[in-house]
Amino acid sequence: MSGVLIGNEVLDAMPVQLLARAGGAWFERGVAAGEAGFTWSDRPSSLRPPCDIEGDHDYLCEIHPQGEAFVRSLGQRLQRGLILLLDYGFGQDEYYHPQRHMGTVMCHRGHRSDMHPLADVGLKDITAHVNFRGIASAGDETGLELLGYATQAHFLMNCGLVDLMQAAGAAQRNRAEKLILEHEMGELFKVIALGRGLDEPLLGFARGDRSHRL
């Protein structure tokens, strides 16, 4: 196929695998069913995070084989064009920072969020942040070129959102500000571009490209 593929908050909804370090050993964390309902159950595993995590303290994190496989499947089919993915997440070093020891799995229901996916099963959306280096590497495996990686704020401002806001009404400006303000969606949300056969640089990454920080 040839064209432009845009995925907005697609990767964060894909299943992840949980890895837990306890007592210096690594375990895969799964779910067990008992009389009291669902509980966590750990088993020894040879799976590891994609990088060493400093320290020996207990640590919970995720790996993303399904999201990365999804990107590889797009790369295998894209003959010429662009894949633009927008989601919340980090580069790998920040994602697996020693202080981020509780993982990133979150649950959302209405306008509330929590960190308890085994409660109210089936009534909440379960998400995890994205390791964007893993996404870039998955694309590279299929020959896709990394064309840019930036915060959502930089991407949208590079594309002219501020100019559009000046001509918009107050309600539209308020909604647009939420997309670019640092304490809202502007910093946590990132945009990554992967492509094949494109010669021109992308406007959205003209300033603030963080590809070197993946």
Across the range 43-60, mean pLDDT stands at 97
What secondary structure does DSSP assign to 124-189, as a single string? SEEE--EEHHHHHHHHHHTTPEEEEEEEHHHHHHHTTHHHHHHTS-HHHHHHHHHHH-IIIIITTE
Q: Taking all residues of the chain, what is their mean pLDDT, rounded to a whole number? A: 95
In a domain, 180, yes or no: yes
**Please, are residues 49 and 19 in contact by the beta-carbon 8 Å criterion?**
yes
Is the distance from CB of 62 to CB of 16 less than 8 angstroms? yes
- For residue 97, being part of any structural domain is answered with yes
The count of domains in the chain is 1
In a domain, 35, yes or no: no
Residue 165, in any domain of the structure: yes
Enclosing domain of residue 91: 2-15+64-202
> Quick one: pLDDT at residue 51?
97
Q: Please check whether residue 43 lies inside any domain of the structure.
A: no
Contact 157, 116 (CB under 8 A): no
In a domain, 24, yes or no: no
Output the domain CATH number for residue 117. Answer: 3.40.50.12710
Residue 20 forms part of a structural domain: no
Confidence (pLDDT) at 125: 96
Tokens 């309600």 locate to: 171
What does pTM read for this prediction? 0.93
DSSP conformational letter for 17: E
Task: Name 112's Cβ contacts closer than 8 Å, sequence gap at least 6.
Answer: none
Query: Rounded mean pLDDT of 74-97?
Result: 98
For residue 188, is it within any domain? yes
pLDDT at residue 103 in the model: 97
Q: Give the 3-state secondary structure of residue 214.
A: coil
